[in-house]
Structure 1
Amino acid sequence: MELAARTTSFVVFFILSFAQRAPTSEAATLNVGVILNLQSLVGKMARTSILMAMEDFYAVHRNYTTKLVLHIRDSSADSVQAASEAVDLLKNYNVRAIIGPQKSSEATFVANLGNKSQVPVISFTATSPTLTSGSMPYFLRATPSDTAQVNCIAALIKGYGWREVVPIYEDTDYGRGIIPYLVDSLQEFGASVPYRSVISVSASSDQVEQELYKLMTMQTRVYVVHMLSSIASTLFMKANELGMMSEMYAWVLTDGIANIIDSLNPSILDSMNGALGVKFYVPKSKELDDFTPRWTKRFKQDYPNDPSAQLGIFGLWGYDTIWALAQAAEKVNMVDDMFQKQQDKKPSTCFGTLGISTVGPKLIDAILHNTFRGLSGDFDLKKRQLQPSTFQIINIVGRSSQQIGFWTAKHGIIRTLDQNGSKTTNANSMPELNPVIWPGKVYVVPKGWQLPTNGNKLRVGVTSSGYPEFMKAERDPITNATIATGYAIDVFEEVLKGLPYAIPYEYVAFDFEGASYNDFVYQVHLGVYDVAIGDITIRYNRTSYVDFTLPYTESGVAMIVQVKDDTNKNTWVFLKPLTTDLWLGSIAFFIYTGIVIWLLERRINNAELTGSFFRQLGIAIYFSFFADRERIDSILSRLVVIVWVFVLLVITSSYTANLSSILTVQQLQPTVTDVHELIREGEYVGYHNGSYVGNLLEVLGFDRTKIRAYKTSEFCYALSKGGKNGGVAAVIHEVPYIKLFLAKHCKGYTMVGPIYKSEGFGFAFPKRSPMINDFSRRILSITEGDVIIQIENKWIGDQHVCQTDGAIASPSSLNFRSFSGLFLVTGVASTSALFIALMMFLYKNKHKIRDSISRVQTRGGYGSAHANRQNQEREVDSNQAQSMHVTVPNDLEDDTCQQEIEVSIEITSPVLDSHRGQALHSVAQ
C-alpha cells in the first residue's frame, strides 16, 4: 500500500509538473502579423514566398525551440483598413512583430502603432524616402529606399545627352517621395525638370489621356515613370494609342515597375516597347536556381488565374524577411514575454488600449545584428534598410526584357559584371552598353526634345540694330509679317539648314523705343520669344536668365585710331636696323678677328705687316673688312677669313633688308598703340552710343568725364578733330563692328587690339533649352568653313582689300641674339686657328727649347770658384755663336732656320748684345 501510495504521488506530481510546463511550451511561439494587399500582384507574390519561407526554414532548423505563427491579413490597398488590421493583430492576437504593410502610406500608420507598442514593423515593399527610422525606431525596411536608384537614372540621362526630363508619377506618398531626390540628382548631372506630371491613383482613362496630350504640347520628350504597375498599365496603353511610343520619345521606368516587368500582361508589355528600366540586381546562386521552379509551381497552385507571374525581387525579400525574423526569434528569451498596459493613458480610443511588448526591444536588436546570405543576396539591416550597390538596366523588347548594362555606386554605368557582381569587367562610356531598341523599333538614340505638336512655330525675336548690316527688322505692309535681313539672319538660317530636323519658325519684332539689348534678351526669359537672334553680345550678366550658343563672330573689344605718315626720318635712321648690343658685338668681333689675322700673318713674316705696331694693327683690322682684297699667306688665316666673310655676308644682307623696310615699307603708324597710354595722358575716348562699352571704359580706368558717346556716322569726325580739339584720340568698340567700320573707311584708320576679351555675338535661348547643343554644333561647323567667309563678304565686304585692317606691325631691329650662332662659329674658328699655330710653333722648336732650358739649369749649378772659367766659356760660346751668324748663307730664307738663329742669339753673352742687330741684318740679307 505504501508503494502504491508513493507511485500515485509520483504520477500526480508528474502530471502537475507537465501542467505547469504547458504554458512554457505555448510561450515558445511568436505571433507575427502579415498585412498585404492580397488583390495585387506583389501581394500575391509575397504571400507565396512567405509561406514557402516558413516551410523551408523549419525544415532546415528542426531543433529550434521558438516558432513563428503567421496571421495574414488583407489591407485591400486601403490605409485605414491596414491600420485597423494592425490594431486587431496587436490587441487580439498579441503579435510581437508585423511584416508589411505593402504600401508606403499604409506603412506610416502601422509604423506609428509599432512605436506605441514597441513591436517591430518590417516592410519589404514600402520604399518611400519619407519613411525614416529616425522618427520611427521600430520600423525596419527590408528593401532599399527609392533614393538608391536616382543616381542610376541620372547617369542614364547624362550618358545619352538629354538635357530635360519630365517625371510622371502617381499622387501618393510612394510617388511623391522620390521626386525631390530625383530632381536634385538630375541637376547634379546637368539635366533639369521643366515640368512634373502628377497622375491621381483614381484617374480615369480619359484623364490620363488628357495629361498625355498636355505633355505632347511641350518640347521635352524624355520621361521618367515612377508609379505602381496598375496605373502604369493605363498610362502606357494610352501613350501607345497617341503615338508617344515612337522614335522621338524616350521612357525610363523606375524599379517599382521594372522589378515586376516579366509578370505584366503581354498586351501591356507591347505598349512599353523600347522603354528602359532600372531594377535591383539579384546575384545568381544555386539556391535561387532551385527555389525559382518550386515557387513558380506553388504560385500557379495558389493563383491559377495569374499564369504569367514570375518570381520577382519583392518575393525574394519577403522570403529573406521570414528567415531573418525566425533567426532573431530563436535568440530572444520568450519566457517573460508579455504585453504591459500603458500607464497614465486613458483608453479614449482603441489605440490607447494597446499594450507594450516587453520582448520588442530585444527582438529588433536581434534583427539588426543578424546578417546572412539570402536568396536576394546579402541581407543586412544594420542601417535599418537594405543597401544595394548594383542596379540592372533593362530594355523592354517585344514581350520580355533584355539586359543592356549595370550601374554601381563605385563604377557608374558599366556593361558587364564578374561572377561575384562586385567588380567590372568592361567599364566604359554609354556607347559601350549593349544595343538599345528604342520606341519605334529604332537604334538611334532619341534627341530628347521636339517642337510642340500644337501647331505653334518657333518664335524668333529680332530687332533693328544700329548696324543694319548685322540685322534689320521691318514689317511687310501687305502681309504685316516681320521681315528680317542681315549678317545674323543669314547665320541663323544657315544653322537651320544644317540641322537634322525641320523647325518651323517665324520672326517676331521687338521694337520698343528706348529699350536696350538687355531688355530684348530678357524677353526670352519671360517666354515672349523662344530664341533671340542678332548682334547680341554674350555677357556674363545676361547668362543669369538665358543661355547662349557658341559665338558666331570674332570676340574682343578693340580701338579705332587714326594712322599717321611716318616719312620724317631722323639723321641716325641708318642705325635702327641693328640694336646696340649687335653693333657692339660686331665691332668686338671685327677687332678680335683682325688681331687673330695679324698674329697668324706676323708669324710667317707677311711683307704687308711692316712698320710700327699701330700701323700693323690697323692693317690687320682692315683685313677684317676687306680680307678678300688683301694678300694672305697663312693657310690658317685663310680659314679664319672664309668663316668671317660668311658672317659679314649674312650681317650686311640682313642690315640692308631691314634698312630698306624702314625707309620704304613703314610709312603709316597708328597714333595710339596702348590703351593704358590714353588713361595715363587723360585722353578723350569715344564709344558707340547705347553700347555696354561705356561702362566697360570706366572699369578699365577711364575718367567718366573723358568718355564721349557717338553714333557710328560721327566716328570719323570725332577722330579727325582729336582729343584736344573737342574730339577723341580713339574710339573703343567691339571687333565685329570695327571690321564693318574699316570696310567703309579703309584709308586713314586702323584697329589696335583687341584690348579687352569678350565672347562675341550669339543666339539667346531659354535656360537649359535642349536646342542649344544642336545650334552650337552647327555654328561651330559654319565658322570653321567657307560659309562664314561668304556671309562676311556679303554684308561686311572683303577684308583683304583694306590694307589698314588690323594693327600695323613695325619692322623690329635685329639683335645680337639673332646672330649669336654666327658669332659663335667665327669665334671658335679664330681661337682654334691661334691654338693650332701655337702648337705648330712649340712642336718645331721643342729641341732648341729643351737645350736652352738645359743650359740655363747647368749655368746655375757651378760654384763661385769656377766663375772665371764659366765667363771664359761663355765668351767662347758667344764668339762661336757670332761666327755662326756670319757663316749663314745669304740665300737661307727658311722660317725654321731664322727661328734657330734667333734662339742662338738669345743664349749668347751680353757682350754680343750690341752686335745682335747687325747679325740679324746680315742673316736677313
Structure 2
Amino acid sequence: MGYGRLVTLFMLIWVQLNGVVDCQGNRVVNVGAVFTFNSVIGRVAKVAIEAAMADINADPCILKGVELRIIMEDSDCSVFMGSIKVFQVLQKEVVAIIGPQSSSIAHMISVIASGLQVPLLSFAATDPTLSALQFPYFIRTTSSDSYQMTAMADLINYYGWREIIAIFVDDDYGRNGMSYLDDELTKRMKEISYKLALPIHANLSQISDLLATSKLLGPRVYVIHVSSDSGLAIFSVAESLQMMTSDYVWLTTDWLSTTLDSSLPINRKSHHYLQGVVGLRQHIPRSSKIKHFVSRWRAINQRDLVHSRLNNYGFYAYDTVWMVARAINEFLKEDGNITFSLSKNLHEIKPSALRLEKLKTFDGGQGLLTKLLQTNFTGLTGQVQFDLERNLIVGAYDVINIVQGATRRIGFWSNQGLSILPPEMLNKQRKSVAYVDQKLGNATWPGGKTEKPRGWVIGTTERPLRIGVPNRASFVEFVTEVHSTHNITGYSIDVFNAARELIPYGVPYRFKTFGDGSSNPSYDELVRMVAEDAKIAKKITVKKDGKDRKVRACVIRTMADEEKLKIERLNRLNLGIWKMQVEDFLYAEDFDFLQGGISMKPFDMSVLEGELLDRDVLGVVRSTLATSISLQFPEVDTRVKMISLLSWEYKLVVSSNLKSRKWVTFNDVVEIFGENSRIIPFGTSLLTSNDYPNAKVRGRGVLHIENRNKRRMKA
C-alpha cells in the first residue's frame, strides 16, 4: 500500500513538472536587439530597454502569462559585426529585432530581416532612405532626418543666410541627410555651396585639414551632421584654428544635443569651445511619465548601474519595447501561436560556422508587422503612431543655443514652422504660423555677440580685384611703381588702403601697372583695355564660370527679394504684360538664349550650367507670382515650362471670366486674342474708363484702344 501511494505521488509530480516545462517553453517570446553598447546612444538605450522589459513583465495587463525576453547583441559600430550579430539573434527564433542606431548597419540588417519576415524597429537610425519600399519590414521609431533637414532649412531661411558649408560623415546617414537638406534649401532659394565629407573615424589631423581648407572659402555658415560619438572634436579643432569667432555661424543637427544631454556635469564645463553654437534637439512634450522616468533614471545612476545621463534616444528605446509588446499582445489574441518554418533556399545551403541553414522564417511576420504599424498609444515620447512610410509621426524639434557651457532653448520647430511656443500649445490653439509670424528667442553667437552674423566673407581663393595703375613719368607723388621692389606707392594708394580698412571684411586685390614709366600712358587706351576685359568677363560669367554665374544669380535674387525688378506681380488678368516684362528682363541680363529653353544654350556651355542658370531665372519668375498662383505649380522645374503652363492656365481662366462678366477689360482682350491682333470685334460689350483708363468711350461703342506698344485696335 505504501509503495503504491509512492508511485502514484511520483507520477503526479512527473506529470506536473512536465506540464510546467512545456508551459514555460511555449509562454516565452524572444525579441532581438542589436546595437552598439559602448556609444553615446547605446549606453542609454541598453538600460532603457532593460527597464522597459522589466516593466512589461511586471505588468499583469499585457502579455498575460507570457514572458518577454530580449536577447541583446553588440554590433560594435561595424556593418560587418552587425550582420554577424543579427544572424546569431535570428537563430534564437526572435519575432522582432530592436535597433540598430547606425543607419549604415540598418541598411544591411533590413535586407536580412525582410528575407526572414522579422520586423526591424530602429529607435535611432534616421537616414530618410530607409523608408524606401526596398525595406518593407523596417519601422523607424524615432524622427526621420527628412523632418530634421526641413527644420534646418527653415532655420537657415529664418536668419536669411543664402550659402552654407556642410560638413558631414561620409556614410549613408551623412550623405543622405545632406541630400535632403540640399533639396529643402533649393526650395527656399538657398544652397549648399560646399559639401565637405569626413571619414567615418576621422582623426584630428583629417579634421584640421578639412577645416583649414574651408577657411579659404567665402561662406561662414556651417552645418555639421556627424556622429554623436566623435562630433565634439570638430569644435575643438575649430577653436584652435580661430574659427569660433564672431565671423562664423555653427549649426548642428541633433547629434550635439544628444552628446551634451548624455554628458555628466563635470564634463560639460570643458565644452567652452561650443559658445554660440545653435542646434536641434528632438522635441518631447513634458508629462508626468517623463518626470517619473527621469527620477527613476537618477536612482539608477546613483546605484552606479549606468555611467551616462539620459538623452532623448533613451525615451525612444523605452517606447520601442512597449510598442513591440503591445503588438505581440494583439497578435497572440488573434493568432494564438508563434511559429517558424525552415526556408527551402536556406536549408539547401551547405553547413557553415554561421549555421545559416538553421535560420527559420517567422510565419506570422506580416501579421505582426501590420499590428506594429497600427500602434496607437501614449508613451514617454508622446503619441506613438506611424505614417504610410513606416515613420513615427512626430517631426518636432527644440532649437537650442549653447551659452557659457549651458544648453538654452530659444524656440521650437514643427510642421507649422518656427515658434517660441511649444508645438502642443500651437495645436491646442489650432493656430497656423506663417513664415512672417515665425519667431525665435535671441541667440548668442560665437564670440559672445547677440547680433546675427553676416555669414560670409570674400574668400581668399576668390578672383582678386584687379586695379589698373598708371605708370607715369610725371606726378609720381600720386602713384608710382618702385622699380627695385615693384611695390605700388603714392598718395592715391594710401587713400585706397585707408578706405579698405573701413570695410568690415577683406577684399583680395592686385595692382596692375599700365605704361612704361618713361612717358605718360594714354587713358583712352586704358579705358579701351578695361572695356575689352569687361566684355570677356561678361561672356565667361554667362557661359563658363560657375562661380560668377552664382554671383549674378545671387544679385538678381536679391533684387527680386527687395522688389527692385521691374516686373509686375502676375495676377489673373495681366499675363500678356507680365510675359513681355519677363522677356525684357532676360534680354537686359543677357539671358536671352533661355527664351528657347536649355536646348538653345551656347555651344560652349555645359548642360548642367544651362540647367542651373535656368533654375536661377525660374526662381526670379516665381518671385513675381502671387502666392496663390505659385502654389499651383510646385513641381515645375524650368522657366519655359512655367511660362507655358501659366499661359495655358490663365487664357482659360480669362476665357471663362469673359463668359460670366458684364464688362471686359483691355487685358482680357489681349489674353484671348494676343498682343499682335489688329482688329477685334467686341460685339455689344463695353470697355469702361474704369476698367481701362486709356480706352476712349463714345456712347455705347468703343472708338479705339492703345496698348503699351501703341498698337491700335479698332472695335
TM-score (norm 1): 0.52
Q: Aligned AA for 1:104?
A: S
Counterparts in 2 of 1:118 and 1:463: CA distance versus 1, 3 Å: farther
Q: Deviations over 1:75-128 (max 9, x none)?
A: 11111111111111112x222211112211111222112112111111101111
Match of 1:440 among 433, 444, 447: 447
Counterparts in 2 of 1:6 and 1:366: CA distance versus 1, 3 Å: farther
1:743-754 matched pairs, under 5 angstroms: none
Instruction: Say if 1:518 and 1:542, in contact at 8 Å, map to a contact too.
Output: no
Name the structure 1 match of 2:457.
450
Q: Secondary structure at the match of 2:192?
A: coil
- Structure 2: distance between partners of 1:315 and 1:529: 46
Structure 1 residue 381 displacement after superposition? 2.8
Asked whether 1:337 is paired with 2:343, we answer: no
Counterparts in 2 of 1:507 and 1:153: CA distance versus 1, 3 Å: farther
Q: Secondary structure at the match of 1:44?
A: helix
Counterparts in 2 of 1:337 and 1:545: CA distance versus 1, 3 Å: closer
Counterparts in 2 of 1:452 and 1:27: CA distance versus 1, 3 Å: same
- Structure 1: distance between partners of 2:505 and 2:409: 31
Q: Secondary structure at the match of 1:319?
A: helix
- Structure 1: distance between partners of 2:148 and 2:591: 49
Name the structure 1 match of 2:89.
89
Instruction: Say if 1:269 and 1:396, in contact at 8 Å, map to a contact too.
Output: no
Q: Aligned AA for 1:284?
A: R
- Structure 2: distance between partners of 1:458 and 1:232: 35
Q: Secondary structure at the match of 2:212?
A: helix
- Structure 2: distance between partners of 1:32 and 1:502: 61
Larger Rg: 1
Name the structure 1 match of 2:419.
414
Asked whether 1:135 is paired with 2:141, we answer: no
Instruction: Report sequence identity in percent.
Output: 26
Q: Secondary structure at the match of 1:229?
A: coil
Q: Deviations over 1:634-683 (max 9, x none)?
A: xxxxxxxxxxxxxxxxxxxxxxxxxxxxxxxxxxxxxxxxxxxxxxxxxx
Q: Aligned AA for 1:332?
A: F
Match of 1:379 among 375, 384, 400: 384
Q: Aligned AA for 1:273?
A: Q
- Structure 2: distance between partners of 1:500 and 1:396: 26
Asked whether 1:520 is paired with 2:537, we answer: yes
Aligned-residue Cα RMSD (Å) equals 4.5
Name the structure 2 match of 1:166.
165
Ranges in structure 1 where 5+ consecutive residues have no aligned partner = 465-474, 484-491, 533-540, 557-690, 700-764, 769-925
Asked whether 1:286 is paired with 2:293, we answer: no
- The total of aligned residue pairs comes to 534
Name the structure 2 match of 1:398.
404
Counterparts in 2 of 1:233 and 1:35: CA distance versus 1, 3 Å: same
- Structure 1: distance between partners of 2:99 and 2:565: 64
TM-score (norm 2): 0.66
Counterparts in 2 of 1:137 and 1:218: CA distance versus 1, 3 Å: same
Counterparts in 2 of 1:513 and 1:352: CA distance versus 1, 3 Å: farther
1:541-620 matched pairs, under 5 angstroms: none
Instruction: Say if 1:524 and 1:546, in contact at 8 Å, map to a contact too.
Output: no
Q: Deviations over 1:865-924 (max 9, x none)?
A: xxxxxxxxxxxxxxxxxxxxxxxxxxxxxxxxxxxxxxxxxxxxxxxxxxxxxxxxxxxx
Q: Deviations over 1:394-432 (max 9, x none)?
A: 1011222111111121x3111123764525689575894
Q: Deviations over 1:37-59 (max 9, x none)?
A: 11112101001111111222333
Counterparts in 2 of 1:12 and 1:173: CA distance versus 1, 3 Å: same
- Structure 1: distance between partners of 2:589 and 2:96: 74
- Structure 1: distance between partners of 2:256 and 2:399: 13
Asked whether 1:263 is paired with 2:262, we answer: yes
Q: Deviations over 1:431-480 (max 9, x none)?
A: 942111100111111100123367x884258899xxxxxxxxxx977678
Q: Aligned AA for 1:85?
A: K
- Structure 1: distance between partners of 2:553 and 2:292: 60
1:749-788 matched pairs, under 5 angstroms: none
- Structure 1: distance between partners of 2:176 and 2:222: 17
Q: Secondary structure at the match of 1:76?
A: coil
Structure 1 residue 210 displacement after superposition? 1.0
Name the structure 2 match of 1:366.
371
Instruction: Say if 1:521 and 1:542, in contact at 8 Å, map to a contact too.
Output: no
Instruction: Say if 1:37 and 1:74, in contact at 8 Å, map to a contact too.
Output: yes
Instruction: Say if 2:164 and 2:193, in contact at 8 Å, map to a contact too.
Output: yes
Instruction: Say if 2:162 and 2:191, in contact at 8 Å, map to a contact too.
Output: yes
Ranges in structure 2 where 5+ consecutive residues have no aligned partner = 471-478, 490-495, 513-525, 567-586, 596-612, 617-715
Structure 1 residue 544 displacement after superposition? 6.8
Asked whether 1:505 is paired with 2:509, we answer: yes
Instruction: Say if 1:133 and 1:140, in contact at 8 Å, map to a contact too.
Output: no
- Structure 2: distance between partners of 1:513 and 1:201: 50
- Structure 2: distance between partners of 1:231 and 1:511: 57
Name the structure 2 match of 1:73.
73
Q: Aligned AA for 2:119?
A: P
Name the structure 2 match of 1:714.
none
Instruction: Say if 1:66 and 1:329, in contact at 8 Å, map to a contact too.
Output: no
- Structure 2: distance between partners of 1:523 and 1:420: 54
- Structure 2: distance between partners of 1:97 and 1:432: 43
Counterparts in 2 of 1:315 and 1:695: CA distance versus 1, 3 Å: closer
Name the structure 2 match of 1:574.
none
Structure 1 residue 257 displacement after superposition? 2.2
Structure 1 residue 300 displacement after superposition? 4.7
- Structure 1: distance between partners of 2:488 and 2:557: 23
Q: Secondary structure at the match of 1:190?
A: coil
Structure 1 residue 297 displacement after superposition? 2.3
- Structure 2: distance between partners of 1:210 and 1:268: 24
Q: Deviations over 1:364-414 (max 9, x none)?
A: 2221112100001111135312122421101011222111111121x3111
Q: Aligned AA for 2:342?
A: K
Q: Secondary structure at the match of 1:452?
A: coil
Q: Aligned AA for 2:197?
A: V
Counterparts in 2 of 1:395 and 1:426: CA distance versus 1, 3 Å: farther
- Structure 2: distance between partners of 1:15 and 1:124: 45
- Structure 1: distance between partners of 2:327 and 2:436: 44
Q: Aligned AA for 1:87?
A: F
Counterparts in 2 of 1:546 and 1:413: CA distance versus 1, 3 Å: closer
Instruction: Say if 1:49 and 1:315, in contact at 8 Å, map to a contact too.
Output: yes
- Structure 1: distance between partners of 2:288 and 2:547: 58
Q: Deviations over 1:57-84 (max 9, x none)?
A: 3333356222210111111111111111
Structure 1 residue 201 displacement after superposition? 2.1
Instruction: Say if 1:233 and 1:268, in contact at 8 Å, map to a contact too.
Output: no
Instruction: Say if 2:131 and 2:391, in contact at 8 Å, map to a contact too.
Output: no
- Structure 2: distance between partners of 1:138 and 1:73: 20
Q: Deviations over 1:485-522 (max 9, x none)?
A: xxxxxxx9999798554545346699779958553224
Q: Aligned AA for 2:398?
A: Q
Instruction: Say if 2:464 and 2:510, in contact at 8 Å, map to a contact too.
Output: yes
- Structure 2: distance between partners of 1:693 and 1:170: 40
Q: Aligned AA for 1:294?
A: R
Q: Aligned AA for 1:505?
A: Y
Name the structure 1 match of 2:103.
104
Instruction: Say if 1:143 and 1:385, in contact at 8 Å, map to a contact too.
Output: yes
